[in-house]
């Protein structure tokens, strides 16, 4: 059984790329399920109803969030209409939405649990301890074998620590947030697939999906600049995880990268 997981989608161009590429990638890699981080897909920050509706064409089954989850105000009002959209689980309970869910694989008897967690190291967030949240959620998912964790975090050390902490307890721990894919994909001893960061669905000629010139201005002068999203020349980055549906253990992990327009 194969699952496609793609990195942070940045802007309208990323949504177009996902619609064009994900269905063919699902066929090419014989994947039955797709998870994507969507926290940057509305103009580079947050999600909207329109953005989420457009992803139906992309065959994305679950959308996870991160530290930019609420950049678009309307999401707080409409997230309840999208049971497949997850905000980080380790935030205040007063925030709308949910941090994990169990989803039926289309055309299969298996069910996949997906957990969205937010890191704390080097991130200016009010997140609670993600390790404690993971323990609490796994207690509630004791009968669930296939579990994917999107750990949206900055520090590689925190991501690796989470992978090691959950080794043997979940199918995969896959990092998002930095928009740069890492070359450390592996299967830990307990059968958990791990990768520090999946990368992004964003412009090749950019700085993390943003126009190069204003980013250079900010770094070189210290003066403020508006970081506009580059919507053309998109590259989709992600990972395919193969697993044993009976045990929930990962058997293989493979990075993928595909250019669009």
Distance in angstroms (rounded) separating the CA atoms of residues 166 and 188: 10
What is the DSSP annotation of 145-172? Answer: --EEEEEE-S-HHHHHHHHHHHTTTSSE
Q: Is 108 a catalytic residue?
A: no
Distance in angstroms (rounded) separating the CA atoms of residues 108 and 124: 40
**What would the two tokens of residue 209 be?**
């999906």
Tokens 């949206």 map to which residue?
A: 152
Q: Please tell me the chain's helix, strand, coil percentages from 3-state DSSP, rounded to the nearest 5.
A: 25, 30, 45
E-only strand ranges, 100-143: 100-104, 111-118
Q: Which residues pair with 62 in a beta bridge?
A: 35
Distance in angstroms (rounded) separating the CA atoms of residues 6 and 238: 4
Beta carbons of 123 and 176 less than 8 angstroms apart: no
> Which member of 68, 152, 177, 179 is catalytic?
68
Distance in angstroms (rounded) separating the CA atoms of residues 206 and 208: 6
Active site residues: 68
């Amino acid at each position: 059984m194969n699952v496609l997981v793609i990195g942070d989608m940045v802007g309208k161009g990323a949504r177009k790329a996902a619609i064009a590429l994900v269905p063919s990638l699902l066929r090419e890699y014989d994947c039955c399920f797709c998870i994507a981080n969507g926290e940057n897909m509305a103009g580079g920050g947050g999600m909207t109803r329109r953005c989420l509706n457009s992803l139906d064409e992309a065959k994305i089954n679950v959308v996870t969030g991160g530290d930019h989850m609420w950049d678009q105000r309307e999401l707080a009002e409409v997230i309840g209409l999208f049971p497949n959209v997850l905000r980080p689980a380790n935030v205040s309970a007063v925030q709308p939405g949910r941090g994990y869910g169990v989803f039926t694989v289309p055309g299969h008897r298996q069910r996949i649990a997906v957990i969205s967690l937010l890191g704390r190291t080097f991130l200016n967030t009010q997140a609670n301890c993600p390790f404690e949240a993971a323990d609490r959620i796994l207690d509630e998912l004791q009968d669930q074998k296939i579990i994917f964790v999107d750990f949206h975090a900055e520090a590689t050390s925190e991501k690796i620590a989470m992978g090691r902490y959950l080794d043997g307890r979940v199918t995969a721990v896959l990092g998002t947030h930095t928009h740069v894919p890492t070359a450390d994909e592996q299967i830990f001893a307990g059968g958990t697939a791990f990768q520090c960061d999946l990368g992004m669905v964003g412009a090749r000629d950019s700085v993390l999906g943003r126009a190069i010139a204003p980013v250079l201005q900010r770094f070189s002068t210290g003066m403020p600049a508006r970081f506009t999203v580059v919507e053309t020349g998109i590259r989709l980055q992600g990972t395919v995880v193969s697993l044993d549906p009976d045990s929930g253990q990962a058997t293989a992990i493979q990075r993928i990268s595909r250019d669009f327009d």
